[in-house]
Amino acid sequence: MSFQILKAADKKRKVLQEIVEMMSRYKTIAVADITGLRAVQFQRLKKGIRGRLNVKVAKNSLIRKAVEELKEQRGIDATALNGVLEGQTAIVVSDLNPFEIYNILEKFKVPAKAKPGDVAIKDIVLPAGNTGLTPGPVLSLFKKFKVPIKIEEGSIHVTKDTIVIRTGEVIPAEVADLLSKLGIEPMEVGLKIKAAYSEGLVYKADNLKIDVGHFRESIVDAASKALSLAINSAFFSRESSPHILAKAVVEATLLAIKARYPAGEALSYMVAEAHAKAMALNNILSKLSSN
């Protein structure tokens, strides 16, 4: 018995050191919720993010101990992550910043079966074709949701692609059961970041959820307004200087033309203006003489 306890302790210590080593090698350490992920789904997800993110599932008590040892051994203080260590948890590490990690995990989801009470994330369609189901009580479900069917060779066939639940609608138990029988997985599951530690800072999930497109537009708009202000106030910077000088040249040229000061660019404009006036006067005189 004591040998088994010692062996279990050694195994636990080995896993603990693996987690410490894993967390110390990367710039960003994140805690993710894996509640609801089945083993097959988890393996598919890990395969999809391989090369960008590394994931390790462990008990919260072990992760908490690893965080403490990380501080003691490596001087990396990620103890703020202990506050989110509850439920089923995984550690996600990467040299990417927390925002990039969050976006990768939000975009990469794996299909999942619908459960009663789930809210549809997209229209749920029963595709045309053989359902593989034999006629019976299930026929009433197809009728209830107005799914056109026919019985052929002892199987129920859907004759036309049919939406049974629309985006945002709650999925009732009977539909969830039917979808399960048909092998349709309309939901999506994945790793949900709770918090992340990177270069001395801790980011909660709410801080990581940003609209990249809107953020980019805001930056572009702010940069445009700042440049306009710098130009109008003659504040010289690397970006504003060319525009300020070009504006000054134009204004100086216009002033010289208005003042009839024959210098630089103004001279060519003045000559062109005088030529145009002379040609116009010549045309008038020509018409008068012909009359």
- pLDDT in the model for residue 167: 94
The residue among 79, 80, 35 whose CA lies nearest residue 204 is 80
The total number of structural domains in the chain stands at: 3
CA torsion angle 95 98 101 105 (round to 10): 150
Q: Is 154 helix (H, G, I), strand (E, B) or coil?
A: coil
How sure is the predictor about 272, in pLDDT bands with cuts at 50, 70 and 90?
A: confident
Q: What does the alpha-carbon distance between residue 176 and residue 184 come to, in Å, rounded to a whole number?
A: 9
User: Starting at the edge strand that comes first in sequence, how are the strands of the sheet with 129-130 ordered?
Assistant: 129-130, 155-158, 149-152
* Residues 96 and 160 occupy one common structural domain: no
Domain hosting 281: range is 214-290
How sure is the predictor about 3, in pLDDT bands with cuts at 50, 70 and 90?
A: very low
* Residues 135 and 68 occupy one common structural domain: no
How does 213-250 read in b/e, with b if 16+ C-beta sit within 10 Å? eeeeeeeeeeeeeeeeebbeeeeeeeebeeebeeeeee
- pLDDT in the model for residue 131: 92
How sure is the predictor about 186, in pLDDT bands with cuts at 50, 70 and 90?
A: very high
Mean residue pLDDT of the chain comes to 87
* Residues 199 and 73 occupy one common structural domain: yes
Percent of the chain whose predicted confidence (pLDDT) is above 90: 33
- pLDDT in the model for residue 196: 93
Is the residue at 224 inside a domain?
yes
How sure is the predictor about 149, in pLDDT bands with cuts at 50, 70 and 90?
A: very high
Question: What CATH number corresponds to the domain at position 137?
Answer: 3.90.105.20
Average pLDDT over residues 168-183: 91
How sure is the predictor about 2, in pLDDT bands with cuts at 50, 70 and 90?
A: low
* Residues 65 and 202 occupy one common structural domain: yes
Is the residue at 169 inside a domain?
yes
